[in-house]
Amino acid sequence: MAYLTPDAKTQLSSTIRELRDRLLTDIHNGAESFYRLSVTLKQAGLAEEAHIKRQRLEKWLDEQIRSEGKIPTDKDFEPIKARYRLQAEKLAAATFLNRLVVIKQLEAMGLSKPLLVTGGWNSPAYREFREFAPDLLKDETEGMGLLLSLLYDELALDLPGLFGRGGITDLFPIPASTLRVTIEALDQLELRDIWLDDTVLGWVYQFWNDPEREDLDTKLNQGGKVEPHEIASKTQMFTERYMVEWLLHNSLGQLWLGICRANDWQAEVISSGTLARLEERRSQWREWRESGKVALDGLMPMETELEERWKYFVLAPLAPLAIGVNLTRNSC
C-alpha cells in the first residue's frame, strides 16, 4: 500500500520547508537571546548554566575556524564565525525535526507507546503525565519539553546518533512556541498516514535540503561558483526506492544469472518465462504510452511476485541467449 501519495508528498514538502524557515529563525533568535551573543561573554552577565554553555559554543566555533588550516584576517573572522554558527544552528534544527519525525514513525508502527508526539498536548502520554506529575508542568512548554527529553534518553539507548546528548546541538534551546508549532504541523490530518511509509525519513531529508540546493542552482545560473562548504548541499540527495531496486536488479540480478549459466542451473525467472513476458509487456506498454493510451508517467503494473522482483532488470548482451535456453539441471 502506498502511504506517501503524490498529494501527501506535496503536503509534506510544503510542511518541511515551512518548518525549516521557522526553526532556523527561532533557533537563531533563541540563541541570541539566551546567550546574549551581541556582547562579549564577560559583558553578558549570564547565569552559570548559560555561561558554561556559551563557553562550549565559543570553543566549538574557534575549533571550526582553526580547522580551515589558515588564520583568517580580522575582516574575514566574523563572517567565517557567523557561517559556522549558522551551520551549528542548521544541525540543531535538523536534529530536532528528525527526532520528532522518527518518533512519529515509531508511534505509527506501534513501536513507541503510549503516543506522545501523535496528538501532541492531547496525546495519551501527555494527558497521563499531566495527571500524575502536575508539578512538572510549570515551564513554558507545560511539561512537554521535559517529557520529550525523557523519551529522547530512552531512545538514545538504541539510537545514540540521533537521540544521544553531548553534541553541539544541545547548546541551542528550542523555544516553547516553536516546539508546539512543529509538533502540530507534523500531526496535521493530511499527513496522518505517511508515517507508515518507510521512505518518509528520506523525503524529509530531501525536502529539508531543497531550498539550499535551489539557491545554489540560482547562484550557478548567474555565473557563481560553488564553495567547498556548499558542495554537500548540492550533491546530497535522497535515493528513491526505484533507483535502489534498479541498481539491485542489474547488479546482483546479472551476477545471479551468470552463476546459473556457469553451473548449468536453470533460473526460475527464465524457466517460468518471466523475463520474456516482461520484455514483451514493456514493448507493448511503450506503444501504449506513445499512442496516449496510458499516461506518460504511468507505471506498468506487475502481475506476479517474480515480476516484482525483476521488474527493473535490463537484458545484458548475453541475457537474451539465456531466455530461450532449456536447461534440465537444478532450478535456482
Three-state SS letters, 245-310: HHHHHCCHHHHHHHHHHHCCCECHHHHCCHHHHHHHHHHHHHHHHHHCCCCCCCCCCCCCHHHHHH
* Contact criterion met (CB below 8 Å) for 54 and 46: yes
Residue of 325, 307, 322 lying closest to 257 (CA atoms): 322
Cell 545560473, residue located: 221
Q: 281 burial class (0-12, 13-18, 19+ CB within 10 angstroms)? A: middle
**Residue 293: Cβ-neighbour burial (10 angstroms; 0-12, 13-18, 19+):** exposed
* Separation CA 49–CA 115 (nearest Å): 32
Chain CA centroid to CA 46, Å: 36
Helix (H) or strand (E) holding 311: none
User: Is the pLDDT higher at 185 or at 240?
Assistant: 185
pLDDT for 317 beyond 90: no
3-state SS of 130-183?
Answer: HHHCHHHCCCCCCCHHHHHHHHHHHHCCCCHHHHCCCCHHHHCCCCHHHHHHHH
- Cell 520547508 -> residue: 17
pLDDT of 2 reads 63
Least confident of 133-142, 262-271, 286-295, 323-332: 323-332
The rounded distance, in Å, linking the Cα atoms of 196 and 279 is 33
| Non-local CB neighbours of 175 within 8 Å, separated by 6+ positions | 26, 27, 30, 140
Name the residue among 167, 173, 311 with its Cα closest to residue 248: 311
Lowest mean pLDDT among 59-73, 105-119, 143-157: 59-73
DSSP for residue 71: P
Hunting for cell 566555533 — which residue is that? 61
Q: What is the mean pLDDT of the chain?
A: 89
Rounded to whole angstroms, the Cα distance separating 212 from 86 reads: 13
- Mean pLDDT of the region 79-89: 93
Contact 213, 233 (CB under 8 A): yes
Q: Taking 90 as the threshold, does the pLDDT of residue 213 lie above it?
A: no
CA distance 160 to 157: 6
pLDDT at 327: 38
Dist CA 243 CA 249 (whole Å): 10
Half-sphere exposure of 10 (CA within 13 A, CB side): 3
What predicted TM-score, i.e. pTM, was given to this entire model? Answer: 0.79
Compute the distance between CA of residue 313 and CA of residue 253 in angstroms, rounded to an integer. 7
More confident residue, 119 or 244: 119
Q: How far apart are CA 216 and CA 231, in angstroms?
A: 9
316 vs 79, more confident: 79
Q: Is 238 in a helix, a strand, or coil?
A: coil
Q: Which residues contact 187 (CB under 8 A, 6 or more apart)?
A: 104, 117, 118, 119, 120
Between residues 77 and 125, which one has the greater pLDDT?
125
